[in-house]
Structure formats: structure tokens, C-alpha cells
């Protein structure tokens, strides 16, 4: 009688006893024999040793004086009558052949199918700078072959180097953040500085008006100037605007009054549009007078507000002005937003007046109701 296992499993492990019973002379006798069954790995699955540690992913980084521990962990598949060996070499020598203090302890564990894991723990109690430069190699061998793996050992960077690197990194990060903040919020920063530290430009300058507005008459731009610009600049920010058709006296000479108004103003605000270019002498006279005043005397600044894009710039004075001056673009409904870029850019271009409500608006934003009603 034979006992056969079609597929050997670990659960088949155990002691199997064969019992034979036979009668003789009126008595019954029992014969037994016990056989131990142990399921092990198949010879077909046998492999050379596999080194789990050291590996390429772990670096043993130590300072001189610290303890260095490096495990040499190797897995051996079951191989009958095979001798499994694990050992260390340091700079090509076994630990017993070296002169420095090294301890190696070995432990062995077996799996249910007799696979073996051997671990040799290399230990140096107080590692030196020289020890950290040595080459530590884990070796393993069985009947299927021999393998080895070097441990990655290095000296820790000095703390001052780490601190210096962290400090430099933090400085670079801070500079980048400041650049980004300045790029995004430079208008707000300028307005904050003007509101708190700016010098009042209106003190003893002999000017009567803050802004002279030059625009195309009898056009859509006139409504924009009289309602939107005038409403916000005068009512919200307390600036005094000079609008020729409103402030000039009847019967006066247009040329003389225009030049007089411009000389009495701190800024010349030009509302650019296709109609402005087509306008006759009045608008161009205002522009030319302002540019000449700015170039020769320097006591007036010209502000260009683009109400609508001008495709062809045939007027040489206007063409020259656009090349040297910043153009503030009005973008319709989008520009009416109180915290919008248009009003902040315009605010920066305006004269600093401590007595006006402009400084407060620089921090609090415009009253949206005032724009909504414009």
C-alpha cells in the first residue's frame, strides 16, 4: 500500500504512521512504522542568493563618532545539500583580517518550505572619518552561484553646511516671493507709499487746477469725461478738474484761454480715441501745448488715457507722445470695477494731494455706487 500526494502542500507536513494488524494463535498483533513528511521548495525553483540589503536605495550617512550598523540580508531558496554562505569584506578583506574594531553578528530564519534568510549585521561602535570612506561589500554564495553588493556609506554634511544651504535657499525663496509680490502688487505698493509718505505736490506750486482734460468734443468721449472721469476724480477723490467747455468764460480767445488753463494745471489728461485724432485745432492745440510745456519747463505731466484704440497715428505729436509715455487703457465695463487696474494706474499718475480723498481711496478702493451710476 502506498500513500501518494498529487500536489504537495505545506499543510501535508507531519508524521505519518503505517499500522499493520494481524492475528496469530488467538491473539491480535499490531505493527507500526512512522515516517516524517516535510514539504520543501522544488529544485526547479532554486535560484542564486538574493541580496535584500544593502541596496541602491539606502545610504548609510553618519557623522564621525556615531555607531554604524549595516545589515547584509540574503535570501536562499531551498536547495538540497547546498551550503549557504554569507560574509562581509571591507576594502577587500574579511573583518577578521582587519585591524579596526568591527563586530559581525549573524541570524538565520527559515520559511515553511525551508527557504533560508541569513542576516549578518556589521557594527562599528564609533565610526571614524576613515571608516566612512571604506568599501563595505556583502557577499553570498550557494550551489547556484555567488553574488555581492556594496553598501553606500558616506559622511554627513557638517551642520553649518546644511544651515548655510537652508539659509541660502530661504533667501532665494524670499527674493522670488518679493519679486512676484512686487510684480503683482506694485500699483498697490506705490499707492500705499504715496498715501503715507508722499510729498504734497500742491503746496506753493502756484497751480489752480489738478488736471486739464483734453478730449474730443460732441462725441461719445465727452459723455465719458463729463460723467465717469469728472464724477470719480472730483466727487470721489477731491481733485479739481479743468474742462474747457465748462470752465472757460464766454467771449474769450480760445487759444489764449487754452494755454492759460494748461499752465495753471498740474496734469494734462488726454483721452485718446479715433475722434480725437480727427478733431480740429482745439484738441491738438491742447496736446501740443502740454507736450511743449512738459519738455521745456517740466512743470506739467501728460497722462494718456486710451478710451478707444487708434489704428493710424498720423498726428506726429500724438505719435511721439505714445512712444515715450505710458498709455492707460479704458476697457469698458471691466474698468468700472473699483479695484480695477485702470483706476489704480490713473491714481499713480495723478498728483499727490494730502488734503484730497485720493489717499484714502488708495487703501479702501473706489465707491462702486459712484461708478455704477455713471
Annotated catalytic residues are 286
Cβ(301)–Cβ(291) below 8 Å? no
- What does the alpha-carbon distance between residue 261 and residue 241 come to, in Å, rounded to a whole number? 10
- From the list 289, 304, 291, 323, the residue with the least C-alpha distance to 215 is 304
DSSP state of 231: I
- From the list 73, 93, 85, 87, the residue with the least C-alpha distance to 135 is 93
Inter-CA distances, 143 with 84, 140, 149, 278, Å: 8, 11, 18, 100
Three-state SS for 104?
strand
Phi, psi of 286 (to 5 degrees): -60, -45
Inter-CA distances, 166 with 62, 79, 372, Å: 20, 53, 51
- Beta pairing class for 68-76 and 116-124: antiparallel
- What does the alpha-carbon distance between residue 218 and residue 214 come to, in Å, rounded to a whole number? 13
- What does the alpha-carbon distance between residue 244 and residue 140 come to, in Å, rounded to a whole number? 99
- Grid coordinates representing 201 are 505736490
Three-state SS for 230?
helix
- What does the alpha-carbon distance between residue 304 and residue 284 come to, in Å, rounded to a whole number? 13
- Beta pairing class for 265-272 and 209-214: parallel
- What does the alpha-carbon distance between residue 202 and residue 354 come to, in Å, rounded to a whole number? 9
Cβ(350)–Cβ(203) below 8 Å? no
- What does the alpha-carbon distance between residue 304 and residue 306 come to, in Å, rounded to a whole number? 6
Amino acid at each position: 500500500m502506498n500513500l501518494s500526494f498529487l500536489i504537495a502542500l505545506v499543510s501535508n507536513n507531519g508524521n505519518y504512521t503505517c499500522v499493520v494488524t494481524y492475528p496469530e494463535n488467538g491473539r491480535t498483533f499490531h505493527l507500526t512504522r512512522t515516517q516524517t513528511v516535510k514539504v520543501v521548495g522544488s529544485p526547479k525553483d532554486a535560484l542564486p542568493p538574493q541580496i535584500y540589503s544593502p541596496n541602491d536605495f539606502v545610504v548609510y550617512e553618519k557623522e564621525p563618532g556615531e555607531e554604524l550598523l549595516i545589515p547584509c540580508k540574503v535570501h536562499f531558496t531551498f536547495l538540497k545539500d547546498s551550503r549557504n554562505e554569507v560574509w562581509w569584506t571591507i576594502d577587500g578583506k574579511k573583518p577578521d583580517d582587519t585591524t579596526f574594531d568591527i563586530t559581525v553578528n549573524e541570524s538565520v530564519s527559515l520559511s515553511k518550505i525551508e527557504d533560508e534568510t541569513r542576516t549578518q549585521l556589521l557594527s562599528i561602535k564609533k565610526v571614524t572619518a576613515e571608516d566612512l570612506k571604506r568599501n563595505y561589500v556583502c557577499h553570498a554564495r550557494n550551489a547556484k552561484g555567488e553574488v555581492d553588493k556594496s553598501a553606500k556609506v558616506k559622511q554627513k554634511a557638517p551642520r553649518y553646511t546644511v544651515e548655510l544651504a537652508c539659509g541660502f535657499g530661504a533667501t532665494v525663496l524670499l527674493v522670488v516671493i518679493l519679486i512676484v509680490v512686487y510684480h503683482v502688487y506694485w500699483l498697490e505698493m506705490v499707492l500705499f507709499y504715496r498715501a503715507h509718505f508722499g510729498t504734497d505736490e500742491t503746496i506753493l506750486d502756484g497751480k489752480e487746477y489738478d488736471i486739464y482734460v483734453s478730449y474730443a468734443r460732441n462725441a461719445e468721449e465727452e459723455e465719458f469725461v463729463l460723467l465717469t472721469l469728472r464724477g470719480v476724480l472730483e466727487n470721489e477723490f477731491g481733485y479739481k478738474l479743468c474742462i474747457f467747455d465748462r470752465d472757460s468764460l464766454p467771449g474769450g480767445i480760445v487759444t489764449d484761454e487754452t494755454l492759460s488753463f494748461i499752465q495753471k494745471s498740474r496734469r494734462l489728461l488726454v483721452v485718446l480715441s479715433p475722434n480725437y485724432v480727427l478733431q480740429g485745432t482745439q484738441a491738438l492745440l491742447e496736446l501740443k501745448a502740454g507736450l511743449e510745456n512738459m519738455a521745456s519747463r517740466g512743470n506739467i505731466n501728460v497722462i494718456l488715457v486710451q478710451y478707444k484704440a487708434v489704428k493710424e497715428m498720423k498726428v506726429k505729436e500724438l505719435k511721439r507722445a505714445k512712444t515715450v509715455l505710458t498709455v492707460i487703457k479704458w476697457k469698458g465695463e471691466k474698468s468700472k470695477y473699483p479695484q480695477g487696474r485702470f483706476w489704480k494706474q490713473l491714481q499713480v499718475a495723478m498728483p499727490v494731494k494730502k488734503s484730497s480723498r485720493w489717499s484714502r481711496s488708495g487703501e479702501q478702493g473706489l465707491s462702486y455706487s459712484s461708478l455704477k451710476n455713471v
